[in-house]
Structure 1
Amino acid sequence: MNSSFIDWGRLLLVGLVLSLAFPVTGEAQIITKDKKKIFFWQRDKDLVDLTPAADTMAVLDSLGMPSLAVATKDSLAEEEKNNKKSKKKKAYFGYRVKKGFARQGKGKNQIVETFHYLREFQQPNSYAPEKYYFDIKKRDVLRTFNFTLKPNQAYILHGPYTRMRGDVVIEQGYFYKGTKHLRWETFRTDSTLASKLHYEKGFPRDAVISYYDAAKTKIKEVIPYQYGEVQGQYLKFYEDGQLEWRGTYDKGRKVGTWSHFYDYRGRLQHEFQYPESAYDKPAEPVLTKHYDAYGVLVYEKKN
């Protein structure tokens, strides 16, 4: 009996030791895991705030495009990174470009234009109200309305553009296949901002565009809007794509010269004159010029 009692005592003692050793270790492991979960959860809670800024114009400003005054990368920064080894293969908006310069005048008032143009010629959108190109013969950056450009005549502007007078930037923006795109800024001689406009491949960004067809390939009318008002250049087209009307709105009123065209080779038919600005006294339009279908001036109002 005494030996049996001793044996049972030894077993109880061993069991007690095991129960005190292993459960404590297991509990410690669970606590350790719980602590890790708590720390991990606390780190996840610290998220980046993506709430839009109070200035909604900053959020909507040209698809988030930075001003060229402070930008160090264009909208295709990733593509430029891939082309660092070969500076000759820069691309903007998916198209390879070359860099060019144009100069006018001398001294402090010299105008220097820095631009980019498409390596491979592409005709600008025929509906775009203004097309910009570098004239190879005249060696100057020019603008056209209805003229069809030719590869041996023009380099189509595409990418960043800067116009400087001396050391002062007076205009900057981006081109897309010969049309103004994203944010465009003009500056006074003291470098203060004079104006800022936004474009979407040649058209005012906030313009209301209507079409002749459901596929939206034939533009009918372009009504420009800025800050909720009809403001800027108005365009209306014939169904075949030729321009019918071109004019300017100022605070919802027709101003300046309005032109009406024949549906034949884009030839001008009439010019009407409205008050110069929205601040002038309202007046009926005055016919100032009339051309026949051959482009011959048949009437001109005398001053």
Structure 2
Amino acid sequence: MAFLNFRKLSLWLFILMGIAAPSFAQNDGPSDSFATDSIPDILVAADSIPNKAKKKKRKKNVFYGIKTRKGFTKMGRGKQVTIETFHLLKTYKEPNPYVGEYYVFDARKRKVLKVTSINQKELLNYRILHGPYKKTVGGEVVESGVFYVGTKHARWERYGKNNILIDKVKFYKGWPKESEITYFDNERTKVKEVKPLVNKQLNGTYCLFNEKGWTLIQGKYIDGIKVGIWVEYFTEKNKRRKETQYPASPYKDEQFEPYVLTEWDNEGNLIVQNGKAVPVTKTGGKDPSGKKQAQRPPNSNRNRKQ
């Protein structure tokens, strides 16, 4: 009986193997379903392998490799509330002395300011802007961009009502990105001339320097036309020589004739004021208060020798 039961069991095993054999045979050779069924196991194994190509997570409040801290200002109420969010350098770093326009946060006034120079006294209250900036009015963005050590950098945008883009300009560390910049040296450390170009047209602050880094000529263009006050400096003395008045806008007064607004002689005496010659007096060209009329250039931090 035991022998018969063994034979029956063997027979049943043989039949079962015969039935299962065709199903294995169908998978001989290439098979999409078989390969697909094995994918989950492969993926699980791959997850445990470190991904060397994975990007490093950017450190919080670090921009262009420089540490900052976040700040904001809030003015007004309701629909007219104005909020500015920005980042400040944790450690002071001097902006590019050639640019001439710097953006800072005045800790005393609690305002974001655009200034033409930064001296030692102002450092007590000024904090250099560096990193993303955004300004909103009534919850709508009106301006956004990036600062690089106190100067405009990357893409800047301005918006009107209903979030309509009205202006965009790309900057590179203070100058329009398209600007033509020439240098005195091959290492490009001493700037000679900056022609601010936006869409291949002069727009922005034009500057001409001498080899010491002192300004010789500075003024602004709008759509290729000189506007505002253009300033010329003495080559060696680093003092203002002449201020020429151009129209405030190239479109308001097309008949406007530029004129010399203010001028000084080699001794720093005022010889033209408000477009009129200053009469020679016993004070030697000084005003009645006795104060000398010669002025320093706007960027006082350029006065040092390089």
| TM-score of the aligned structures, taking structure 1 as reference length | 0.65
Alignment partner of 1:288 out of 258, 261, 285: 261
In 1, are the aligned partners of 2:192 and 2:208 still within 8 Å (CA)? Answer: yes
Partner of 2:273: 300
Partner of 1:135: 106
Alignment partner of 2:150 out of 158, 175, 178: 178
In 2, are the aligned partners of 1:237 and 1:245 still within 8 Å (CA)? Answer: yes
Note if 1:196 corresponds to 2:168.
Answer: yes
Summarize the Cα distance change of 1:296–1:139 in structure 2 as closer, same or farther, 3 Å threshold.
farther
In 2, are the aligned partners of 1:129 and 1:203 still within 8 Å (CA)? Answer: no
Note if 1:156 corresponds to 2:156.
Answer: no
Partner of 1:255: 227
Alignment partner of 2:212 out of 240, 246, 266: 240
Percent identity reads 37
Deviates more, 1:176-185 or 1:249-258: 249-258
Summarize the Cα distance change of 1:272–1:117 in structure 2 as closer, same or farther, 3 Å threshold.
same
Deviation at 1:216, TM superposition (A): 1.0
Partner of 1:144: 115
Summarize the Cα distance change of 1:154–1:277 in structure 2 as closer, same or farther, 3 Å threshold.
closer
- Superposed CA deviations along residues 36-78 of structure 1, whole A, max 9, x for unmatched, are xxxxxxxxxxxxxxxxxxxxxxxxxxxxxxxxxxxxxxxxxx6
Aligned length: 226
Q: Secondary structure at the match of 1:108?
A: helix
In 1, are the aligned partners of 2:260 and 2:275 still within 8 Å (CA)? Answer: no
Summarize the Cα distance change of 1:266–1:154 in structure 2 as closer, same or farther, 3 Å threshold.
farther
Structure 2 spans left out of the alignment, 5+ residues = 1-27, 33-54, 277-306
Partner of 1:126: 97
In 1, are the aligned partners of 2:84 and 2:134 still within 8 Å (CA)? Answer: yes
Partner of 1:19: none
In 1, are the aligned partners of 2:265 and 2:271 still within 8 Å (CA)? Answer: yes
- Paired residues for 1:1-303 under 5 Å: 81-83=57-59, 89-148=60-119, 151-262=123-234, 267-279=239-251, 280-281=253-254, 284-291=257-264, 299-301=272-274
In 1, are the aligned partners of 2:262 and 2:275 still within 8 Å (CA)? Answer: no
Q: Secondary structure at the match of 1:190?
A: helix
In 2, are the aligned partners of 1:267 and 1:293 still within 8 Å (CA)? Answer: no
Deviation at 1:274, TM superposition (A): 2.2
Please give the alpha-carbon distance, in whole angstroms, between the structure 2 residues aligned to 1:105 and 1:243. 40
Q: Secondary structure at the match of 2:95?
A: coil
Please give the alpha-carbon distance, in whole angstroms, between the structure 2 residues aligned to 1:274 and 1:159. 34
In 2, are the aligned partners of 1:146 and 1:266 still within 8 Å (CA)? Answer: no
Q: CA RMSD in A?
A: 3.0
Deviation at 1:262, TM superposition (A): 4.1
Structure 1 spans left out of the alignment, 5+ residues = 1-27, 36-77, 84-88
| TM-score of the aligned structures, taking structure 2 as reference length | 0.64
